[in-house]
Homo-oligomer: A and B are copies of this chain.
């Protein structure tokens, strides 16, 4: 394999995570240090930054600020939700990308995102190959949803899981403080896959978590749900429930959808969310005091509670993407292969972009209990190693000191 000399672009796409910047930093740092890579650009808002010719010069950034990316949540370069067209239907975007690649002599393209981003990578790679422009394209995964095919887990999931389990353990203590009855319903993200909600089971494993857990992998039955909650409430005087935002009835309709029919006192549609809605229903059925809590954005940006393993692995994924590309690899996503037999071992592994792009990984049915309202040990064994270790996030004046980039735009 001949040496390929040129500049590189790193872009971030899709919903952010606590550690997507750790991956970006892994790629940026490695690229800056590599002699085959002449200049390192960060695309402003993912592929849109390429299309708009808005690239930040990473070489201009202070090394210390770049290093803080390891601990900085959200996408520091900016993100997008831009779905690139099929080049056979419309190749406008591809022509423009090629133009920009030529302008900056871009020979390496690293894209840090979820399912759709891997699809974008794949299409760009194929187009460049077809038009004979040599460019190595690598995907670096991220998604709190943990639904990417092939890889053992996705960077970002572990930190969200750690935050969810930690917060629910704290809520568990809070919710048991009075000797009066109390039911708490906690809503986690995950529209199609229940990984994040399953993470609530880690709190249960620690002895301080939900009594009931409902994932979208199992059809939701409102009557059965109320029966389950009522039984625990009657026995214990307390009940804690974790639900995925994506729970749905057997006909596929989301449980949360009913709320769209509602309006508030001003005549606007209700925005209260699933937790509030279920809390309302349970309150009426049981007469108990019920509180709904939506973990909302907090679960995907709580960098102060990130998993040390997640930060290290996310960094490693970014690093491996650059190293592999320089060594001649293209059209792959860097994922993980893990071994949990004698302690936990995690190594980077390459996956074909085309395999990853269009598959969604769900929580295996055998990791959910038979009744569909709890988590089995299999999931605990899988997830527990992922949430180990703490962040090294430095504090300034008692608050997080996140990265501050200069973002010098290339001309």
Using a CB–CB cutoff of 8 Å, the interface residues on chain A facing chain B are 15-16, 44-45, 48, 72-76, 78-81, 162, 165-167, 169-171, 173-179, 184, 202-203, 206, 208, 258-266, 268-273, 276-277, 279-281, 283-284, 291-294, 296-298, 300-305, 307, 384, 387-390, 395-400, 402
Contacts and interface: CB of A to CB of B under 8 A. Distances in A.
B174 A73 contact: yes
Given A270-B276, A294-B296, 19 more contacts: A73-B174, A76-B173, A78-B177, A167-B298, A167-B302, A169-B399, A173-B402, A262-B265, A264-B277, A266-B280, A268-B277, A270-B272, A271-B272, A271-B276, A271-B277, A272-B276, A304-B305, A307-B398, A390-B395
A67 to B, nearest CB: 17
Contacts of A390: 395
Contacts of A293: 294, 296-298
Contacts of A284: 268
A165 to B, nearest CB: 6
A78 B179 contact: yes
27 contacts: A48-B179, A74-B173, A78-B179, A79-B177, A79-B178, A166-B304, A167-B298, A167-B302, A170-B304, A171-B297, A171-B298, A174-B297, A206-B399, A259-B264, A262-B270, A264-B277, A264-B280, A268-B277, A270-B272, A271-B283, A271-B292, A294-B296, A304-B305, A307-B398, A387-B399, A388-B398, A389-B398
A301 B208 contact: no
B307 A305 contact: no
Number of copies: 2
Nearest to A389: B398
A258 B179 CA distance: 31
A203 B44 CA distance: 25
A50 to B, nearest CB: 13
